């Protein structure tokens, strides 16, 4: 029977066991010395297991095993929800392991009943209170025989020998003297603070009353958001401990969700904090004088034990969730299951040679894929479209495309809606019934489930973006992430702003951002500022799996003097291979009257009108959408129309008589530069617009929907061929052979003794000498077991201990 998902793992090399903690609350051990042999294969056939379960027991009855360590004295400690930590003495575990398979049930019961609840070791009179939140991480400090247990916000330090709680402290290093206040559920604030939901009827009752209620609702939403933030919701989200590890010099490193790394000494004293990336730290691994850090962005960074950056590279297209060292390589595990190995010497001369040699063979493993994309934008003015309108907008144009991306504005508005949306966003909720209606009905127009499949969506108040992929393209799309940036009142309300989707198409990053900028003719500067704010601050959520193929052979990016990637401080959108901005940008026509504009539209004199287009003037001046381009406009201005009035006669003829304008636009940037315009690995995405048009027959809103069709070439790596070329380079390049041999060289060292005998309470000194004057050596001492010397000089049988399993009477 397959075991439930494992959430944590601990290695016991002395007994050749791997301990795993599982979602069902059980701890299981697996023998590593049962590799398939001819005899085993004869018994179990070709499918004989490489590992066999040795011992298991129910560690926690209703909660999962979130963390686990083997302490310096061989005990197994496990942490779970609610701050519960249990310990199992090694003597009981060893006895259970010695029982026969027929006594398996007895062995489990023996261990289950032997646990020690460490909360009982926190005495009533102590100045510390053990946190009651989930114990997500544990670390055994074998240098000092201590154990660290970590929640998202606090640290607890224990004596591994006495099991005494030594200290509880926060991420700032301050000692916690009282139990942490539980977080207040943000839903309470939603209910208490957001009471106003003005409707269209209320708006008609009078502009003063409506504006007053709108203002109060927005202020209430802002207050709710601020109060939720001060209670810890935002703080916890942005500043949680995600991982912990110990460097070879004994220092403890903890990584946080905001990208910061904190160094502690062995007594839990704060040493220093540094940050080189904005992305969340997911894992840390140390060996010798180096420390490797894996980030949610997929980046791998190398530092020395002082925290100084040595280099970094893009390891995966999604979060690096775990790392391990084997042989002369460090292996990284990505969120989607991809595993890669990197030389411990990276980045270095070896990588430079591989990069150069692989670049020479690029044509042998590169192919160009072409896809058609349909991008549509529509300000729906809180209305709902007819099936005929949706088909006119998307149905016909989507017939020969592989990817459809739709952006809507003003799906729903009103002070109450905006206030509720702001409050929901503050607690990680989004979406609405109206938004779902649009997603469902657009899906019907695209024949969702048969021809197309939805791959992602995001809503922020009145803004909605969603994407659908054709069935044959969907397997090549993955790492779909979403983001939202409000630009309304106080940069907190979503009546204006942007929502985005980021995805990998054939392993190339493409971003789509649906926007609604500030309105009114005179607000050009505000519109430019809205774009700048969205472009610089849009950060996508972390990946949730991928259907895209992963590259197993990656070349390291160059690093600057600080050890960062050169573009590390650039906005996330700048890192994409292609970016498409769509939406109601609200740029108007200037220097023209209403009547003049109507006359020019009726004469289809669009060239004259384009000269008075604010967006074209601002892009030409470099004030907005820098480096982007737009298709040639051959359609009439898309704003403002009277609903259900067909043809060009439907332009606004009311009291305000708003001047017609091209408010609804689509602009983009691909990988092309001034010098490189052909699709290649250096310029991986090249796009061309094949159509750019407005659906003038649709009358459901005061805006006309716009769509743009792209033909996109993407440079794709054939991984099988590139691996083959990589292997040929490794085999044939003499300089690489020399570098690899040098990296495997072990400095000349002397160990004073391999046999330590302790008697009569004498002190024994173990001396290790490195005779190499140019290279450092790292050593690790394992206590694999013990035997007793008799008076006649003979020894008792060797008794194995757990890794680092020092006897309780021994002090190191």
Q: Rounded CA gap, 219 and 462, in Å?
A: 18
Does 459 reside within a domain? yes
Q: Rounded CA gap, 210 and 414, in Å?
A: 10
Domain-terminating residue out of 165, 182, 199:
182
Residues 172 and 219 in one domain: no
Q: In this structure, what token pair is assigned to residue 193?
A: 């603070």
Q: Indicate the range of 10-14, 250-254, 730-734 predicted with least confidence.
A: 10-14
Residues 482 and 605 in one domain: yes
Residues 192 and 157 in one domain: no
The beta-strand segments (E) located in 165-279 are 165-170, 241-246, 252-256, 260-264, 270-275
Whether residue 319 is predicted with pLDDT greater than 60 in this model: the reply is yes
Q: Rounded CA gap, 45 and 36, in Å?
A: 10
Residues 420 and 527 in one domain: yes
Residues 116 and 211 in one domain: no
Does 574 reside within a domain? yes
**193 band by pLDDT with thresholds 50, 70 and 90:** very low
Q: Rounded CA gap, 22 and 1, in Å?
A: 14
Does 727 reside within a domain? no
Whether residue 308 is predicted with pLDDT greater than 60 in this model: the reply is yes
**708 band by pLDDT with thresholds 50, 70 and 90:** very high
Does 551 reside within a domain? no
Q: In this structure, what token pair is assigned to residue 369?
A: 């894929």
- Bigger pLDDT: 797 vs 160: 160
Residues 388 and 470 in one domain: yes
b/e string for 704-741 if b means 16 or more Cβ within 10 A? bbbbbbbebbbbbbeeeebeebbeebeeebeebeebee
3-state secondary structure of 270: strand
Residues 6+ positions from 594 with CB-CB distance below 8 Å: 657, 658, 659, 660
Does 316 reside within a domain? no
Phi then psi for residue 10, to 5 deg, are -140, 140
Does 581 reside within a domain? yes
Residue 471 pLDDT: 93
Task: List the domain range (segments joined by +) for residue 704.
Answer: 366-543+570-719
Residue 615 pLDDT: 96
Q: Using CB atoms within 10 A of its CB, is residue 317 exposed (0-12), middle (13-18) or buried (19+)?
A: buried
Q: Rounded CA gap, 743 and 802, in Å?
A: 31
Q: In this structure, what token pair is assigned to residue 225?
A: 């958001």
Select the highest-mean-pLDDT range: 15-29, 309-323, 402-416, 525-539. Answer: 525-539
160, 812 in Cβ contact below 8 A? no
- List pLDDT tens digits, range 402-456: 999 999 999 988 776 776 666 666 545 567 888 999 999 999 999 999 999 999 9
Can you say whether the dihedral through the CA atoms of 57, 60, 61, 64 is positive or negative? negative
Q: Rounded CA gap, 573 and 512, in Å?
A: 9
Q: Indicate the range of 305-314, 543-552, 645-654 predicted with least confidence.
A: 543-552
Residue 783 pLDDT: 64
Q: In this structure, what token pair is assigned to residue 117?
A: 């609840």
Does 231 reside within a domain? yes
Q: What is the CATH number of the domain that holds 458?
A: 3.60.10.10
Q: What is the share, in percent, of the chain residues with pLDDT greater than 90? A: 45
Whether residue 316 is predicted with pLDDT greater than 90 in this model: the reply is no
CA distances for 117 relative to 108, 161, 164, 609, angstroms = 18, 15, 12, 77
Residues 494 and 619 in one domain: yes
Radius of gyration of the chain from Cα atoms?
Answer: 32
**692 band by pLDDT with thresholds 50, 70 and 90:** very high
Residues 212 and 146 in one domain: no
Residues 192 and 170 in one domain: no
- Helix crossing, 415-426 with 207-230: angle to 10°? 10
Residues 494 and 596 in one domain: yes
Domain-terminating residue out of 138, 163, 182:
182
116, 84 in Cβ contact below 8 A? no
Residues 6+ positions from 483 with CB-CB distance below 8 Å: 458, 499, 500, 502, 538, 539, 540, 541
Residues 535 and 443 in one domain: yes
CA distances for 173 relative to 140, 345, 718, angstroms = 19, 34, 49
The label of the residue with tokens 């790392």 reads 323
Length of the chain: 812
Span 674-679, average pLDDT: 85
Can you say whether the dihedral through the CA atoms of 38, 39, 44, 49 is positive or negative? negative
Whether residue 677 is predicted with pLDDT greater than 70 in this model: the reply is yes
- Bigger pLDDT: 516 vs 799: 516
3-state secondary structure of 39: helix
3-state secondary structure of 325: strand
Work out the angle at residue 234's Cα, subtended by the Cα atoms of residues 6 and 296, and round it to the nearest 5 degrees.
45
CA distances for 639 relative to 433, 517, 612, angstroms = 27, 14, 15
Give me the number of domains the chain comprises.
Answer: 3
Residues 117 and 36 in one domain: yes
- List pLDDT tens digits, range 18-62: 999 999 999 999 887 665 444 444 444 455 555 678 888 999 988
DSSP string covering 401-426? -SEEEEEEE-SS-SHHHHHHHHHHHH
Strand partners, 643: none
133, 180 in Cβ contact below 8 A? yes
Residue 233 pLDDT: 38
**548 band by pLDDT with thresholds 50, 70 and 90:** very low
Q: Rounded CA gap, 173 and 252, in Å?
A: 13
Domain-terminating residue out of 182, 202, 218:
182
Q: Return the number of other C-beta atoms located less than 10 Å from residue 84's C-beta.
A: 19
Does 535 reside within a domain? yes
């Amino acid at each position: 029977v397959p075991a439930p998902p494992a959430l944590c793992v601990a290695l016991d090399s002395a007994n050749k066991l791997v301990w795993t903690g599982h979602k069902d609350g059980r701890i299981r051990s697996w023998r590593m010395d049962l590799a398939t042999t001819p005899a085993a294969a004869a018994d179990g056939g070709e499918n004989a297991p490489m590992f066999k379960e040795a011992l298991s027991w129910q560690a926690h009855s209703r909660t999962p095993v979130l963390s686990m360590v083997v302490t310096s004295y061989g005990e197994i400690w496990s942490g779970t929800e609610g701050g519960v930590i249990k310990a199992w003495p090694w003597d009981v575990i060893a006895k259970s392991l010695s029982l026969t398979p027929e006594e398996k049930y007895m062995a489990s019961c023996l261990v289950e009943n032997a646990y020690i609840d460490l909360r009982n070791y926190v005495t009533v009179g102590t100045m510390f209170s053990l946190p009651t939140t989930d114990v997500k991480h544990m670390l055994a400090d074998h240098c000092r025989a201590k154990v660290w247990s970590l929640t998202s916000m606090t640290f607890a330090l224990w004596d591994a020998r006495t099991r005494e709680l030594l200290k509880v402290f926060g991420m700032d290093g301050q000692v916690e003297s009282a139990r942490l206040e539980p977080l207040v559920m943000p839903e309470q604030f939603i209910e208490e603070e957001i009471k106003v939901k003005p409707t269209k009827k209320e708006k008609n009752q009078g502009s003063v009353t409506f504006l007053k209620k709108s203002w109060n609702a927005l202020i209430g939403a802002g207050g709710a958001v601020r109060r939720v933030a001060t209670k810890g919701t935002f703080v916890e989200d942005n500043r949680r401990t995600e991982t912990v590890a110990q460097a070879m010099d004994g220092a403890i490193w903890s990584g946080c969700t905001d990208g910061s790394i904190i160094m502690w000494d062995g007594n839990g004293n704060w040493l220093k904090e540094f940050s080189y990336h904005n992305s969340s730290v997911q894992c840390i691994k140390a060996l010798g004088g180096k420390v490797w850090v894996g980030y949610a962005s997929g980046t791998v960074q190398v530092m020395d034990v002082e925290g100084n950056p040595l280099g970094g590279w893009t390891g995966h297209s999604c979060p690096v969730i775990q790392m391990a060292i084997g042989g002369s390589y460090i292996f990284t595990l990505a969120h989607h299951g991809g595993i890669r190995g990197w030389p411990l010497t990276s980045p270095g001369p070896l990588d430079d040679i591989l990069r150069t040699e692989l670049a020479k063979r690029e044509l042998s493993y590169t192919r160009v894929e072409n896809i058609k994309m349909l991008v549509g934008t529509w300000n729906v003015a809180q209305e709902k479209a007819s099936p005929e309108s949706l088909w006119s907008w998307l149905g016909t144009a989507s017939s020969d495309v592989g990817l459809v991306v739709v952006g809507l504005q003003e799906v729903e508005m009103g002070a109450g809606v905006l206030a509720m949306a702001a409050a929901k966003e503050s607690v990680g909720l989004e979406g609405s019934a109206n938004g779902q209606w649009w997603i469902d009905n657009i899906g019907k127009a695209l024949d969702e489930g048969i021809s197309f499949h939805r791959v992602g969506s995001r809503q922020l108040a009145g803004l909605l973006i969603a994407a659908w992929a054709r069935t044959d393209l969907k397997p090549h799309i993955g790492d779909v992430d979403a983001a939202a940036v409000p630009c309304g009142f106080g940069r907190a309300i979503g009546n204006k702003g942007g929502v985005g989707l980021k995805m990998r198409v054939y392993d190339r990053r493409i971003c789509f951002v649906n926007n609604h900028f500030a309105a009114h003719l005179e607000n050009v500067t505000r519109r430019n500022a809205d774009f700048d704010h969205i472009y610089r601050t849009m950060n996508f959520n972390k990946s949730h799996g991928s259907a895209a193929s992963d590259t197993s052979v990656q070349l390291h990016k160059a690093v600057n003097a600080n050890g960062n990637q050169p573009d590390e401080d650039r906005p996330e959108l700048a890192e994409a291979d292609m970016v498409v901005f769509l939406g109601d940008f609200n740029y108007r026509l200037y220097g023209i009257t209403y009547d003049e504009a109507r006359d020019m539209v009726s004469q289809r004199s669009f060239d004259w009108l384009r000269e008075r287009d604010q967006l074209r003037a601002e892009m030409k001046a470099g004030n907005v959408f820098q480096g982007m381009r737009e298709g040639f406009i051959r359609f009439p201005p898309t704003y403002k129309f009277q609903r259900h009035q067909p043809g060009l006669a439907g332009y606004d003829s009311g009291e305000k008589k708003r001047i017609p304008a091209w408010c609804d636009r689509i602009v983009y940037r691909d990988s092309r530069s001034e010098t490189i315009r052909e699709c290649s690995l250096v310029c991986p995405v090249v796009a061309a617009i094949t159509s750019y048009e407005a659906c003038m027959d649709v009358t459901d809103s005061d805006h006309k929907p716009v769509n743009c069709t792209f033909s996109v070439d993407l440079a794709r790596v054939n991984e099988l061929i590139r691996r083959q070329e990589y292997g040929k380079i490794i085999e044939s390049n003499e300089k690489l052979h020399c570098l690899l041999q040098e990296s495997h060289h072990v400095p000349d060292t002397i160990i004073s003794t391999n046999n330590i005998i302790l008697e009569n309470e004498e002190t024994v000194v173990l001396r290790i000498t490195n005779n190499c004057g140019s290279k450092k050596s790292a050593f690790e001492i394992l206590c694999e077991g013990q035997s007793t010397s008799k008076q006649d000089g003979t020894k008792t049988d060797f008794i194995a201990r757990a890794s680092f399993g020092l006897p309780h009477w021994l002090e190191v």
